[in-house]
Chains A and B, each alone.
Chain A
Amino acid sequence: MVDLLEYEGKSIFKEYGIPVPDFKVVSDEKDIQDFNEKMVIKAQVPTGGRGKRGGVRIVNNKEEAIRAMNEIKNINFDGYKADKFILEKAYEIKKELYISVTLDRSVEMPVVLASAEGGVDINSVPQEKIYKKPINPFIGVTEYTKRELSKFLGLSEYDAQEIGRILVSLYNIYDKLDASLVEINPLGLTNNGLIALDSKITIEDDALFRHKEMPIRYFGLDEIEIEAKKKGLAFVKLEGDIGIIANGAGLNMATIDLIAQAGGRPANFFDLGGTDDPEKVIQAIELASKVTNKVLFINIFGGVTRCDTVARGVVKAINELKPKFKLVVRIRGANEEEGRKILLENGIDSMLNLDDAVDRVIKLAGE
C-alpha cells in the first residue's frame, strides 16, 4: 500500500476539481514568507492523530509559523519526524463532514461513505449516521445518489451541487489511480461552500505497475520488512524468538497459530511462496535467521514448491550460514521422500507430521 501524504493528496484533489485551501509546502524557515492572517501549519506525516500530538497549529504571522514549525520538527509521530509542512489559510468552519470512496469487500464494489459527523475516526461514528451506497463501476455515480447524499448530510441547495461534484471527483480518483481509499476528513462546510481540509489517498500495491509516478513508501514497516519487500517477499515481523518459514500465506498463519497455541513465541510471518529454486530457500533462511533466536521452523507442504528443492536449499544454507539456532524441518507433499533423504544424508532429521513438528519446536525452544 502507498499512503500519500496530505499535500500529495490535496494536489490530486485540486487536479480533479475538488476545492482545497491554497496551500504551500514548506520545510525550512526560508520557505515561509511574511503574512498577516490566520493560517494553519500542519506536519506531513503518515500517521493519524497528529493534531492531538501538536502537529497542527494555528499561526498569525511569519515568526509564529517558524516557531511552530521548529517545535513540530521535534515531535515523534509513531517513529516519524515531520520534514515537510503544509501552510494554508485557516477557514471558519460551520461544520465538519466526512466523505470517502473505498472498496466494500462485502458488496464487492466501491462504496461512498459519508457522514455529517466528520473530523473524527469514521469507525467511531454510529452506523445510522453514515450514508453508504455502492457505486457500480460500469455505471458510475448516479444523480439520485448525489441527491440522497446531500439530503442525508442536510446540505443547502447550493452545497448540494458541490457535494455531487466532489463525489464524482472522489470516485474518479479511486478509479483512475487504483486507490483503495480516497477520503476527505474533515470536509469543511463554510459560508462560501465546501472545502477539503485534509486528504487521505491509499494506492493498492497490486496496481502500482501501472502507476510508476507513485512514490515508493515503506511507512510502518520494520527494517527487515523493508528488506523483504524490496526483494518481493512477504515478511511480517512478530515479537517472539521462533523463526518461521512456510510456503503459502494460509499455511504460514496456521503455523504461527499452532506454535503460539502450544506456548511458543513466533518471531515472524514469512511466505516462501512457490519456488523451485534452492537459492530462494537459502535467501529465505538468511532473512529469517535475522529474527530467529532459538529455533527456526521450516514448514513446507510441497506442490509448486517441491520438497527436494527445499531440502537442497536447507542443506546449502546451513553449511554456508552455520547458524547458532536449532532447526526443525517438516516437509510433506511433492517429492517428500527425496527431500527427506537429502536432509538425512546431511545429518538433518526432518519430520512428516505437523503436530509432531510443532511439539519438537516447542521442546527445543524451551531448552
Chain B
Amino acid sequence: MAIIVTEKGLPVIVQGITGHQGSFHASQMKAFGTNVVGGVTPGKGGTSINGIPVFDSVKDAVKETGAKASVVFVPAPYAPDAVIEAIDSGIKLVVIITEHIPFHDMTKLKLYAKLMGARLVGPNGPGITSVGIAKLGIMPNSIFKPGPIGVVSRSGTLTYEIVNTISEAGLGETTVIGIGGDQVVGTTMQEAVKMFQQDEATKAIVVVGEIGGTAEEETAEIIKNEVNKPVVAFIAGRYAPPGKRMGHAGAIITGNKGTAQSKIQAFQEAGVMVASKPSEIPVLLRQKLASV
C-alpha cells in the first residue's frame, strides 16, 4: 500500500491550473498516471488546458468530476482562500505547493481543516507521490521505483536527490511525502512517520530533516516509543550559521534551538542511523533491512 494517497484512480483537481506551474504540472501528473479530472481558475470555466476541463469553482469541479483531492498552485495572497474553498466543497485532501503563505494563515487553515476532517499537505513543498498509485505535486516523474521505503522530507530538491539515490541503489519507495519547508505545515513529520509505521508495504523509513524547529526531536521521541521499523535520517544544515534563514521560512536556528546537532543527537538516541551524506542513505537502509 502506501500512505495518504492510497487509491489508484483518485480523482484530482488542480487549483490554479491556468498558471504556468499549474498547467505544466497538471500534465506531468497525468503522465505519471494521476487521474487529473479537472482544474479550477475563477473566470476561466468552460475552457480546457491540455485536454483537462477548467471550472470556475471547486464546487463546480466536484459536482462535474467527483474530485476528492486537490493540488493548489495558487499564488500566496490567494492560496488560503483557495484551500478554504476546497475544504468547503468537500475535498478531503489538499496538497499545497504554493510558497510564502504567511504562517498566520496556515495556523488557521490547519485548525479549520481539522475541524472539517480534511488533510493538508504542504505548503511550500513538492507534494506527495505514492509510487504506482498517483502523484499529487511537482516531484520529477523519473526518480521513483516501486519498493519498500517510505520517505518523509522537509525539502524539495534534496528529496529528489535522495529518492533518486534510493531508486538507483535498487531499493524503491512506497510513498514519498514532502511536508514543506514552512514553520507550520499541514501534515507533520511526526504524523508521516506514524503512518509509515502502520503501512504494511513500508519496510523502512527515511526521514529528511533540516535545521529549525523541533519536528525532528519530536519525531525521534515517537520513533523511540512507537516505531519498530528501521529508520534512517539525514539532516541538512550542519554548517548553517545561527540566526540566518536558509531559504525555507522554517530553516532557522534561533538562539540555541533548532540546531542540526540537537536533531542528530535526538535521532541517534532513538536508535536512528543518521547518514552524513545522501549517498550513504541506501547503504544504511540495506544494513538495517538485512538485520531485521
Contacts and interface: CB of A to CB of B under 8 A. Distances in A.
Contacts of B245: 1, 234, 236
Contacts of A253: 158, 210-211, 236-237, 240, 246-247, 251
A105 B213 contact: yes
Contacts, number: 163
A123 B102 contact: no
Contact of B101 (A123, A137, A206, A274): A206
Q: Decide if the interface of chain A is mainly helix, strand, loop or mixed.
A: mixed
A178 interface: yes
B164 A332 contact: yes
A362 to B, nearest CB: 13
B138 A249 contact: no
Contacts of A301: 157-158, 160-161, 164
Contact of B183 (A103, A138, A210): A103
A110 interface: yes
A1 B277 CA distance: 31
B278 A209 contact: no
A249 B178 CA distance: 13
Interface string A232-257: 00101010000000111111111011
B172 interface: no
A354 B158 CA distance: 12
Nearest to A266: B239
Contact of B244 (A178, A209, A210, A236): A236
Interface residues of B, number: 61
Nearest to B143: A333
A248 B100 CA distance: 14
A193 B271 CA distance: 53
A17 interface: no
Nearest to B140: A303
A103 B157 contact: no
Nearest to A356: B279
Interface in B152-174: 153-161, 164
B255 to A, nearest CB: 5
Nearest to B217: A106
A251 B159 CA distance: 8
A191 interface: no
Is chain B's interface secondary structure helix, strand, loop, or mixed overall? loop
B284 interface: no
A286 to B, nearest CB: 19
Nearest to A177: B104
A303 B238 contact: no
A251 B161 contact: yes
B239 A136 contact: no
B111 A209 contact: no
A204 interface: yes
Given A105-B183, A269-B240, A354 B279 contact: yes
Interface string A297-323: 000011110000000000000000000
**Centre residue among A234, A257, A260, A303 by max chain B CB count within 10 A:** A303
Contacts of A31: none
B277 A103 contact: no
Contacts of A269: 240, 244, 246-247
Contacts of A138: 108, 111
Given A206-B249, A253-B210, A304-B138, A103 B103 contact: yes
Interface string A68-99: 00000000000000000000000000000000
A207 interface: yes
B93 to A, nearest CB: 19
Contact of B157 (A209, A251, A256, A355): A251
Interface in A101-144: 103, 105-106, 108-110, 123, 136-138
A36 interface: no
A206 B76 contact: yes
A163 B137 CA distance: 47
Interface in B205-240: 208, 210-211, 213-215, 218, 234, 236-240
Contact of B76 (A108, A209, A220, A303): A209
B246 A236 contact: yes
A183 interface: no
B241 interface: yes
A271 interface: yes
A254 to B, nearest CB: 4
A103 B104 CA distance: 9
B122 interface: no
A304 to B, nearest CB: 6
Nearest to A272: B157
Contacts of A332: 161, 164
Contact of B181 (A136, A236, A250): A250
A271 to B, nearest CB: 4
Contact of A109 (B107, B236, B249): B107
Given A250-B210, A251-B158, A334-B140, 19 more contacts: A105-B184, A105-B214, A105-B215, A109-B111, A137-B107, A206-B249, A207-B104, A236-B240, A236-B245, A247-B157, A252-B247, A253-B210, A253-B211, A253-B246, A254-B234, A256-B240, A261-B238, A303-B157, A332-B161
The 6 closest A-B pairs by CB, nearest first: A250-B155, A249-B247, A248-B157, A250-B158, A253-B236, A207-B102
Interface of A: 1, 103, 105-106, 108-110, 123, 136-138, 175, 178, 180, 204-207, 209-210, 220, 234, 236, 238, 246-254, 256-258, 260-261, 266, 269, 271, 274, 301-304, 332-334, 354-355
17 contacts: A106-B218, A180-B103, A209-B76, A209-B77, A248-B156, A248-B158, A250-B181, A250-B210, A250-B247, A251-B155, A251-B156, A253-B158, A253-B240, A261-B239, A334-B140, A354-B277, A355-B277
